Every structure is written in structure tokens, then in C-alpha cells.
A = this chain, B = another copy of it.
Amino acid sequence: MELRGLSLIGAELGQKGGAVFHGFNPASGQALAREFHSASRAEIDRAVALAAEAAPIWAKLSGAKRRIFLGAIAGKLERDAPGLAELASSETGLPVARCSGEIGRTCGQLRLYGLAGERGDWLDARIETAAPDRKPLPKPDHRSMLRPLGPVVVFGSSNFPFAYSVAGGDTASAFAAGCPVIVKAHPAHPGTGEWVGRLVAEAVADCGLPAGSFSLLFDAGFETGQALVKHPGVKAVGFTGSLSGGRALTDLAAARPEPIPVYAEMGSVNPVFILPGALAERSAAVAEGLHGSATAGVGQFCTNPGVIVLQKSPAAEQFLQTLIPKLEATAQGPMLTAGIRKNFMTRTAARGKIAGVRRIAEAKADAAGSAAPVWFETEAAVFERTPALSEEIFGPSSLVVECRDPAEMLEVARHLEGSLTATVHASESELKGQSALIEILAEKAGRLILNGYPTGLEVSSAIVHGGPYPSTSDGGRSTSVGTRALTRWARLICYQNFADSLLPPELQEANPQRLRRMVNGEYV
């Protein structure tokens, strides 16, 4: 793929003229050679106008055609996987093998969401048949289902250059739900973004879909993203990134003359509660598992375990004495961007200065752009009275919170902010006493994990990747991963006493798509 450094406005390449920026190799500390050109205001308007034209066509496109299109994107990603993985590695500092694996996951997502879209359960099709003789009033015929919202803007994330970027989960689920997509490419991996974007545009052309089905816009700054979120033609936004970025977009969208939903997946400390029985049974195994989860990807996963809650005891002391050397021996690795690394350094330095917080592990990180574990510990009382300790530090830093007793553990749980996940390690015998803890954590997180680790996410029909604020902007009412993600891009429509021929096929009497539907309150 010969990259051009230009936005894709439907089937056309964007123009030069906007601010120029470069990718950056975090491993070498060097800017990459290729120039990328920020989109102009006219290009933004054109991309939205094309998407708005494409929206009614997409709304009527069959689920089967959407699936074929998503499969075509996956096929192209697989074809170009070796080159893509190498390019992404050079732009993100992530190992080539990780990038290859992520391409595989991305293709799996595209196909799974395409199948879910075609199958149509997510549409929640319902029929109440007429009863013209009912007294005192006749009962009309009502047929209702979800219907795509229209043009969706997706903000690619820096930490998943494939799975949560140009053709990632938000894009795949929006397409599967029947919405055109405009991606604001993440400037941390612009070459990867362009390459994947060009593949999506190829798939649009191959499948004979309208050019406005997909656009990709570059911008090193915030202007393009803000203009998109404020644009009256845009109907919903997907975002994966920082709390400050997600909140800024959510606020912009809420202040529009016509507010629109922003599904932002933001900060999360992913607390891990380790109970005494678990330490008695398998202290070394938990130390190893936690170390792996906390340091994977240089700690740059949204599910990175950032708060570890223990009861003070000789066994807990022993556990930390096993864990700390592992942390200190962890090889440094390049962070995704210079900005992320700077933030990591600033935030860990600040945390180390909080009264009552002790630095318990620090691994060597002397290479340009790199980071390595920096862990802290404190007491429950300090954690509870210091809101800054509840904030995520993006990267390989976690805070161990020591409790005097089970009651204090519950108190720490009550003080937690919303997270994507919460984890409990417990022995079989102490489990039945944990319903109070589990119930508190159920109020705090979207996914509760027993005797496992928060990183690593199954993409399936039952997964939930969402949680109370601030982990997501919509308080965990939706998920950005799994087949339930499709419903984010749709709204309800109901047809009353309609002629069969004017109904969408999903609601027609003969049920030509053989959907599972609720008819008069029963599923058939």
C-alpha cells in the first residue's frame, strides 16, 4: 500500500494545505518521515454530507450485505497483515507479534458483528397484532424495532491501533447496525490509520456501497474532532481514550442544539481485591498473574489493574515480597506516545509525594520514551480521604491499598469510583462470605472477575466492556465490546396499522428474514 498522508473523503483523497504532522517511533524516539495533512473544514463538511447521503441507503441495506462488507474488510486486513503489523509496531512501539494478534482479533470482531447484525436479534423486533373489536377502543397493529441513527463519528484509540481504531469495535458495530462511519484517525499511528482506512474504502467500492459509507480524517490537534462532534449531520460518537478527552467530547455533544450520544470509554482503575484465603492457597500464582496483567503492553490497557486491595498480614507481606522483585525486574518498554509517557512520569512523581503513600517498586526505565513499573502502597484511610488516589495513571503503575480488616476492605470498595472491571481473589471456603463485597463491586464496575485478571477481553455475545462513570460516559448502560455494542447506534421506531408492503422486511407479516420476534408478548 502506497501511503499518501491524506484524509479519505468518501472515495476521494483529501487535499494538502492543512497543518502537517508526523508519526513518531516510540522505540527509537524519532519522528517518522511521512507527512500527514490535517483535514480542512470543507473536507469535514464534505465527509459529513456524503455520510448523510449514504445514511438512508445504509438504513435499508440488508444485514446480509452489511455482513459481506464487514467480511471484505476483514479479508483485506488479513491479506495485508504482515505489512500492517510492522508499520503499526513502528508507530506505536508495540511488538509486531502483538500487532499481528490484534489484527486477528479485529477481523474476528468484524465478522462477529456482521453475523450479529445479519441475524437481527439485536433489532428487538416486536409485533402487537390488531384487535379491531376490542372494547372500549379497538387495538391497533403495532410493529417496532431498532433503526440505525445515521452518520457515526469514531475516534480511534492510541492503545489499540487495530481493534479500537479505524476498523475497530466502534466502526464494526456501527456498520453492522447500519450506520455510515467517519473516523477521526488517531495521530499516534497515522500510517496504520491510513492503510486500514484505504482498505475500508476499497471494501466500500468492492461492495458497491455509496462513497459516503466511510471517510477518514486526519488532524494532529483537536479541531477536526470537535468540528465533527458539533456537526449537525453527525448523529452519534464513539470514543476510546482519556477521561479528559472523553468528557470534553461528551460535554460538546450535550451542548449541541440537538444533543447526540457519545459512547466514550475512558479511565478505569480496575480494582483487584485479594482475600486472605487466596493468599494462603496460591500467593505465588496470584503474584505472577497480577504481575502479568499489570505489566502487559507496558500497562497501557484500559483494564490494567490499578488498585490492589489487601488485608495487612504476614501473608500479604510475603505476597508483596514475591511481587516486588518481579515488578523491579520487568523490562522497560516504549510507551505509545511521548505525551503518554510524559503524563506517566508526571503523575507517578506526584503520587509519590502524597503524604502516606510509599513507593514500593520501581524498575529501570532509562531508554528514550520508555517506562517500567512504578508501584505505590498506602493505607485504606489515606486512600479514602485522597481523591487523587482514585484516579487512573495510564501505564504500569498500581497502588496497593492495605486494610486492617474485612470491614475496611468494604469501606475501600465503597469509596471506589466507577470502573470497567473489579476483581476478587478468594479461596473456595471464604467465597460464601463475600456477598456484601460482591454487591458493592457490582455497583462500581461493569465486569466482575473471580480469581482472574482484568486484562484480556473475550469478544462475545455476553461480554460487557463498560461501567459506571468515569469509566464510560453513559454510566455503563452500554458496552463497546461484544455483540450488544450494535444497539448503541440505533433508536426505536414503531409502525401503527401499516400496510405490509411499506414495512421494513423485519416487521412484515411473512417474516421473510425469519427473525426471532416478540409477537403479542411472546417470542416466536
Query: Quick check: is A398 within 8 A (CB to CB) of the other chain?
Result: no
Q: Are the CB atoms of A475 and B261 closer together than 8 Å?
A: yes
Residue of B254, B435, B450, B491 near A476 (CB, 8 A) is B491
Contact string against B for A residues 483-524, beta-carbon threshold 8 Å, 1 for contact and 0 otherwise: 010000011111111110110000000000000101011010
Q: Is the CB of B452 within 8 A of A495?
A: no
The verdict on A447 contacting B477 (CB below 8 Å), with A127-B462, A456-B137, A462-B126 known, is no
Contacts of A521 in B (CB 8 A): 460-461
* Residue of B with least CB distance to A431: B499
Q: Which of A17-25, A64-72, A375-383, A436-444 contacts B (4 or more CB under 8 A)?
A: A436-444
Cα(A473)–Cα(B516), bound, Å? 30
Establish whether residues B516 and A439, one from each chain, have CB atoms under 8 Å apart when the complex forms. no
Give Cα A521–Cα B459 distance, bound, in whole angstroms: 12
Contact B475 A492 (CB under 8 A): no
A147→B448 contact, CB < 8 A: no
Q: Is A37 an interface residue (CB 8 A)?
A: no
Tell me the residues in window 407-461 of chain A with beta carbons closer than 8 Å to chain B beta carbons: 418, 431-432, 434-435, 438-439, 442-443, 445-452, 456, 458, 460-461
Q: In this complex, which of A126, A501, A516 has the most chain B Cβ atoms within 10 angstroms of its Cβ? A: A126
Q: Is the CB of A492 within 8 A of B462?
A: no
Size category, A interface: 35 or more
Closest to A127 in B: B462
Distance from A383 Cβ to chain B, minimum over Cβ atoms (Å): 19
The 0/1 profile, CB within 8 Å of B marked 1, for residues 346-383 of chain A is 00000000000000000000000000000000000000
Number of copies: 2
Point out the residues of chain B lying under 8 angstroms from A432, CB to CB: 501-502
Q: Does A466 contact B (CB under 8 A)?
A: yes
Chain B residue, CB-CB nearest to A442: B493
Chain B residue at minimal CB-CB distance from A436: B56
Q: Mark A249-260, 1 if CB is under 8 A from B, else 0.
A: 011001100111
The reply to whether the CB of A469 lies closer than 8 angstroms to some CB of chain B is yes
B463–A502 CB distance below 8 A: no
On whether the beta carbons of A492 and B501 are closer than 8 Å, the reply is no
Complex Cα gap A10–B283 (Å) = 47
A215 at the interface (CB under 8 A from B): no
User: Which of the 9-residue segments A138-146, A323-331, A388-396 touches chain B?
Assistant: A138-146
Most chain-B CB neighbours within 10 Å: which of A463, A493, A516? Answer: A493
A173 within 8 A of partner (CB): no
Complex Cα gap A137–B435 (Å): 29
Give, as a whole number of angstroms, the nearest-CB distance from A420 to chain B: 10
B-contact bits for A154-183, CB 8 A (1 contact / 0 none): 000000000000000000000000000000
0/1 interface trace, chain A 240-255, chain B, CB 8 Å (1 if under): 0000000000110011
Using A450-B496, A477-B490, A494-B447 as known contacts, say yes or no to A458 and B142 having CB atoms under 8 A apart: yes
Closest residue of B by beta carbon distance from A520: B461
When the two chains form their complex, are residues B261 and A463 in contact, meaning their CB atoms are under 8 A apart?
Answer: no
**Interface contact A56-B439, CB-CB below 8 Å:** yes
CA distance A452 to B140 in the complex (A): 9
A468 at the interface (CB under 8 A from B): yes
Contacting pair B462 A144 (CB below 8 A):
yes
Residue of A143, A260, A449, A501 contacting most chain B CB atoms (<10 Å)? A449
Contact A128 B461 (CB under 8 A): yes
Chain B: CB-nearest residue to A140? B458
CA distance A476 to B258 in the complex (A): 12
List, sorted by A's number, 23 A–B pairs whose CB atoms are closer than 8 Å. Answer: A59-B442, A126-B461, A128-B461, A144-B464, A147-B442, A149-B475, A258-B468, A258-B470, A259-B469, A259-B473, A261-B475, A432-B501, A434-B502, A438-B502, A446-B494, A449-B496, A450-B497, A452-B496, A462-B494, A466-B491, A476-B493, A484-B492, A516-B523
Further pairs besides A126-B462, A254-B259: 4, Cβ < 8 Å: A142-B462, A431-B501, A447-B493, A461-B518
